[in-house]
Structures are given as C-alpha cells and as structure tokens.
Structure 1
Amino acid sequence: MTKQNLELPLEQREELLSVLKERFEKNMNRHDGIEWSKVQAKLEKNIEKLWSLNEMEKTEGEPDVVGYDKENNEYIFHDCSAESPKGRRSVCYDQEALESRKKHKPENSAIDMATAMGIELLTEKQYRDLQKLGKFDLKTSSWVQTPDNIRKLGGALFCDCRYDTVFVYHNGADSYYAARGFRGSLRV
C-alpha cells in the first residue's frame, strides 16, 4: 500500500478523532495518567496510524488507548469491544491454514486481515492485560499470536474469558467459527 492510500480524508479523520476522544474520556480506567491532547497530537503526526485505527473502528473493534510505552514514546491501542470484533470473525489463523482447507474455506485469515489493517494480533500477555481493564469475550473468543513451535505442528492459540477466568486454548489453525475473531494492537 502506498502512503496515499493510507490517508483518510480530513472530514473522516476529524470524525474518527472525535469518536476516539469520546471513547477515551468514557473509559479513563484503561489509561490512567494519559492525556488525550498528547495522544491526539501524536495521531495527527502519524496519519497512516489513523487509517489503521479507522480500519479497527470499521470492523467494530472499538480501539482505545490501553497504555504508554515510555521507552519508545508510543501510545498503545487495543480493540476494546465487549466481544471479538464482528467484522473480523469466522476467520482461520493464517494464510497457510486458509490454503490447507479443502472445503468450506473462510473468506480470510486473522493474520492476513491484521497485516492489511496495519495492526498486530494481541499476544497472550496483551490479552490477559486487556482483561484487567474490563470484561471482554464473555461469549466470543479471539485468536492470539501463536508460538512458532505450535504453529509448525498445525495449531494456533485463542483466548476467551469464562467464569471470571482467562482461558487459553488451542485449535487447528485452519478452524474457524462464527464466534471467533481476533483483537488487534497498534502503537502510535
């Protein structure tokens, strides 16, 4: 993708910033000590990141700031929708898994969608940290980054929250379910 393709029109950027600001202000527990004005200034200097956040928003991920990395001077956004984003469900784990299916292939894979959106799947640790900020995936599940040794054997990991506990499970990477999608992470 060229940089030109990653720029939102001014009106759309302003609308997205308004949505993000409103969500930020309604959920201060997710980003204690972080000021919206500093986040917005950083976003306005990195408009290609706004494009990625817009993709997260379009697929109903409800991205929000969940932290700040002082060492790299980056704000961290994660999908904070109550359930796995609707626009990213019914996908297998990656392209290799997609190609391995002989019948009833899903339309896409989590890794390919994330890459196209300019985001990354949450790691297991990020997923567990997100669960400390609220209740997520009580009815759905989300693919998470899978270690190479598991993936080489055909598996992939996903997480959800049941009984006030975060569970990490495995499945064949080529599996897909209507209630499983993925949550993304973006650094700005």
Structure 2
Amino acid sequence: MTMTRLLSSEQRTELLNILQARFAKHMDRHEDIQWEDVQARLESQDASARLWSISEMERTGGEPDVIGYDAESGEYVFCDCSTESPRGRRSVCYDRAAWEARKENKPASDALTMAAEMGITMLTEEQYRQLQQLGAFDLKSSSWIETPERIRKLGGAIFGDRRYDTVFIYHNGADSYYAARGFRGWIRV
C-alpha cells in the first residue's frame, strides 16, 4: 500500500491551526519559543514530509506539541503530548519480530512498525522521563518505549507509565499487548 505523504493545502491549514492553538494553550512546554518561528519552519519546503508525520501523530490521537528546540540544527522537537497513550496506537505489541512470534491472537500491528510508517521515532526512557516533567502523562495508560537491545534479545520490552505521582519504567514480553498500552513518538522539524 502506497501512502501519499503530502497534505493538501486545506489539511495543512487545518493542522497548523490545531498546532497553533495547542502551542498557545501549553506555553509551559516551550517558554522561550515563538509560534511564528515554528510556523515558518513547518511551512518550509523541506518540512512537508515531516508535516505529514505530525498529521499522523494528530490523526492517531497523539496531540503533538513543541517540546524543544535544537539551536545547532535549527529544528523544533514535536512530541506526542496526549494525556494518555494515543488511542489510535494502542493494542500493539512491541516490534515486528514479536508480532510474528505470536501463534494466535495477533494484534493489528506493532509499535516500531507503526512508528516507522508514520515517520516518527519512539521515545527512549530518558525522553519519556523528560516528557513527564512537562506534565502528568499516562495516568491510566502506558506507553512502549525504545528498548535496549540486550533486553529485547531476551524477549522483553519496556514501557512507562505514571502512578502515585511517580514515573515507572517496567517490562513485559515484547509480544504482549494491552488495550491501554500504546506508544508515544517524536519528530524534529
């Protein structure tokens, strides 16, 4: 299946309006960043494919927002900031190898494949903990996070959530999946 990775002008305008409203509502996530600078970057020619990826983050319930700026590259960092793990990315196992290993009751997809198809990257443990400093996320859900190879080789994968005002990182078999577990991603623009 070939996907069109470009937005129509109407889709682009609608997405920019959503992102601008979210940006203004959550200034605490990006205190020293101006929307006009972000918008100029999003509207640049070389950002069109990444804008499509951000639209996929939005479409699947991620509520992407700016959480950082890399002065060296001039790129803004967008991350899924939905209160709970994005609804359109739940009930997935960790990666394709885990999905293929399931003999029965396979989920529709896996987190790493979905992230790659969307053109985003899953959060690392460090990034997940940084996100949690910007708000209280995954109070009822959990999110797969990038798993170190040494854990993955043994059949496991890690996820994070927030309970009792504490961020927990824990493990499961990579082939497991739950209705309340999805994944969060990020992208630089």
**What TM-score, normalized by structure 2, do the two folds share?**
0.97
Residues paired across the two proteins, number: 187
Letter in 1 for 2:38: V
What secondary structure is seen at the aligned counterpart in 2 of 1:32? coil
Give the corresponding residue for 1:156. 157
Please list, as runs of the form range in 1=range in 2, the aligned pairs for 1:1-188 lying within 5 A after superposition.
Answer: 5-45=4-44, 46-188=47-189
Structure 1 residue 179 displacement after superposition? 0.4
CA distance in 1, matches of 2:4, 2:169: 36
Structure 1 residue 104 displacement after superposition? 0.5
CA offset digits 1:17-48 (Å, max 9, x no partner): 00000000000000010011111111111111
Letter in 1 for 2:24: E
CA distance in 1, matches of 2:39, 2:147: 32
Structure 2 alignment gaps of length 5 or more: none
CA distance in 2, matches of 1:105, 1:26: 39
What secondary structure is seen at the aligned counterpart in 1 of 2:139? coil
CA offset digits 1:132-157 (Å, max 9, x no partner): 11110000000000011111111001
Letter in 2 for 1:31: H
**What TM-score, normalized by structure 1, do the two folds share?**
0.97
- Percent of paired sites with the same residue: 64
CA distance in 2, matches of 1:171, 1:71: 37
Letter in 2 for 1:22: A
What secondary structure is seen at the aligned counterpart in 1 of 2:67? strand
CA distance in 2, matches of 1:55, 1:186: 11
CA distance in 1, matches of 2:34, 2:134: 18
Structure 1 alignment gaps of length 5 or more: none
Letter in 2 for 1:50: L
CA distance in 1, matches of 2:95, 2:71: 32
CA distance in 2, matches of 1:184, 1:107: 19
- What RMSD in Å do the two structures reach over aligned CA positions? 1.2
CA distance in 2, matches of 1:144, 1:70: 26
CA distance in 1, matches of 2:135, 2:183: 17
CA offset digits 1:53-100 (Å, max 9, x no partner): 100000010000000111221100110000000000000000000000
Moved over 3 A (4+): none
CA distance in 1, matches of 2:158, 2:72: 29
